[in-house]
Amino acid sequence: MPSDSEQPVDSDSLRKFDRNLIETGRPLAHRVVEPVPFCWFCDNVAGTRSKEHIFPQWLLKHHGAMDERVHPIRISMPLGGVVASERGERPLRAHFNGEVCAGCNNGWMSSLEVSAMPILTQRPRRGRITDAEATVLARWFAKTAVNLNVSQPFRLLVDGPSRHALATSIPDRFAVHMFRVRKQNGVFDWVQKSPDAASCPQAQLDGMRRLMELTLVTHIRIADLVAVVIHAPEPLQPTDVIPDRTARIYPLPDRLPTWEELPFHDDYLGPFTHIDVI
């Protein structure tokens, strides 16, 4: 199993998703290899675990989406786009990460939700996005992307230092972009993937393939608003990974857009994402 960890990890302590893949005997893409911790967001090894909802109850209620159904699947592009694995269908109100300690859930995560609530529920959204709003949104969407990455059928790509640093700030491995979407099927959607393309000299092909496999691109849709969360491994900078026709909100640009200036795409999967390092 490809690993960027310095120490070997007992396969029995890995996520069930990885254990199931290992049993198939197929070569696996590069990923972060870590044992399942007591809490994905801190160093606690004991205490009380809690259920962190992927999408908070207040946001589901705001959109009338408590009973909206989700059916997480993993699609294998090397196998022609076939469904490689899936999770059972469930309502969004029962869609959660159960490996979070009560200290994180009731502490910094709760405070972040309080800060994000007025921004994500305001209607109408008009005027320039402020630095404070962009920072809260970027951190909230990064936290949501991590919750999806550790709990859903996809390889682990956000390492411990980045996950833990979210308790106080936005780690420097993250970038967040936003756009608006015309086509909406329900209120919430997401996808986790690698960048769609990269350019490099032939001699650097293996190294670039590894970097692409270790880069997480997560699209998270809430009604007509979509965030693209990038988590990039060293030596890439997260700003080297570019979703086309989107507005970056973090790292903070020289000029943040107005809500009205956010680009539109027909579908939440729309932006083509490429690595630009040449």
Q: Is residue 81 a part of any domain in this protein? A: yes
Residue 241: left (phi > 0), alpha (psi -120 to 50), or beta? Answer: beta
For the ranges 17-26, 107-116, 132-141, the lowest mean pLDDT is seen at: 17-26
Residue 124 lies in domain: 11-275
Instruction: Write out pLDDT tens, residues 193-204.
Output: 999 999 888 889
Mapped onto helix, strand or coil, the DSSP state of residue 26 is: coil
188: Cβ contacts below 8 Å, ≥ 6 apart? 55, 63, 65, 68, 70, 92, 221, 222
Is 207 contained in some domain?
yes
Per-residue pLDDT at 260: 97
- Dihedral sign, Cα of residue 162, residue 166, residue 171, residue 175: positive
Question: Total domain count for the chain?
Answer: 1
Q: Is 86 or 113 the better-scoring residue by pLDDT?
A: 113
Beta strands in 124-215 (DSSP E): 174-181, 188-193, 197-198
The pLDDT, as a whole number, for residue 26 is: 73
Distance, CA of 248 to CA of 255 (rounded, Å): 10
Q: What integer is the mean pLDDT of 233-248?
A: 97
Distance between CA atoms of residues 248 and 175, nearest Å? 8
**Is 1 among the domain residues?**
no
Token digits of residue 208: 């670039």
